[in-house]
């Protein structure tokens, strides 16, 4: 079933943050920062992959994502839903099911044998493709997936994620310059607000996280 009537974007953001906190997908530690794939430190880490193990939360968030995309991009805007390898694949399948559309997935790089393909499934020239992922930090990985989709002759002007960091101002401009609109359910700011409201973390921890969110590049430079 395709969802058509759901809460406002603000309420969906609050509820998404609440669900992420409830399943302990959110980790805060300013005293002993996490090291990101970039090699830089961060007092925040989020594991959206955990969502696939919680059916009620998973279903609600996929309804939220589907209605968000349709509200923002149009109800007949897509012909194909593509997941980014690997975290985006289950969410793309769930969104495709709700929208009654084919699902494909995009490899990070050609598999190196057989057809040497990056696109798995059937994607044809002229199709309008929505790229689905679990999250985006600065948007860089999305560009490679988008380019792989476009190489098939399909178009990709939209990407949807559950979680968007929302702290690097260049992200949406970089995607926009590449002809891609970003759709998301919540950001670190929504999670911080809900964590404060629910008392999930102590205030010292939240203050340390807030300092990072206000100036992440300086926070990282000071600790690199």
**Which range (11-15, 103-107, 113-117) has the least confidence?**
113-117
Range 47-61 average pLDDT:
97
pLDDT of residue 223: 82
**Which range (73-82, 87-96, 166-175) has the least confidence?**
166-175
Answer whether residue 112 shows pLDDT above 70.
no
Range 66-81 average pLDDT:
96
Neighbours of 5 (CB within 10 A): 5
Rounded CA gap, 154 and 126, in Å?
5
Alpha helices in the chain (DSSP H): 9-22, 55-73, 88-99, 140-150, 170-177, 188-198, 203-214, 216-223
- Entry field: residues in the chain: 224
pLDDT of residue 30: 83
pLDDT of residue 41: 87
pLDDT of residue 117: 82
Range 176-186 average pLDDT:
97
Answer whether residue 5 shows pLDDT above 80.
no
Read off the pLDDT band of 3 (50, 70, 90). Answer: low
Answer whether residue 1 shows pLDDT above 80.
no
pLDDT of residue 222: 86
pLDDT, greater one: 116 or 145: 145
Answer positive or negative: Cα dihedral of 89, 182, 68, 148.
negative
Q: Which of 69, 127, 101 is nearest to 93 (CA)?
A: 101
pLDDT of residue 114: 59
Range 135-147 average pLDDT:
89
What is the Cα Rg of the chain in Å?
A: 18
User: What domains does the chain contain, in order, with CATH numbers?
Assistant: 9-214 (3.40.50.2020)
Read off the pLDDT band of 134 (50, 70, 90). Answer: very high
């Amino acid at each position: 079933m395709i969802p058509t009537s759901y809460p406002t974007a603000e309420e969906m953001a609050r509820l998404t943050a609440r669900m992420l906190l409830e399943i302990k997908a959110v980790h805060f530690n300013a005293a002993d920062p996490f090291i990101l794939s970039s090699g830089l430190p961060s007092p925040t880490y989020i594991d959206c992959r955990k969502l696939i193990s919680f059916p009620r939360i998973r279903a609600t968030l996929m309804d939220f994502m589907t209605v968000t995309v349709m509200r923002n991009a149009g109800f007949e805007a897509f012909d194909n839903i593509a997941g980014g390898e690997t975290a985006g694949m289950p969410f793309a399948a769930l969104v495709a099911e709700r929208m009654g559309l084919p699902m494909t997935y995009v490899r990070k790089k050609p598999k190196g044998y057989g057809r040497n393909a990056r696109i798995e499934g059937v994607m044809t020239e002229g199709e309008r493709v929505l790229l689905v992922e679990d999250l985006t930090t600065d948007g860089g990985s999305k560009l490679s997936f988008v380019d792989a989709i476009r190489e098939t002759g399909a178009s990709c002007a939209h990407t949807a994620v559950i979680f968007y960091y929302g702290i690097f101002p260049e992200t949406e401009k970089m995607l926009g310059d590449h002809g891609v609109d970003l759709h998301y359910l919540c950001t670190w700011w929504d999670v911080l607000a809900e964590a404060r409201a629910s008392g999930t973390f102590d205030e010292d921890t939240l203050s340390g996280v807030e300092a990072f969110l206000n100036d992440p590049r300086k926070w990282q430079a000071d600790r690199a």
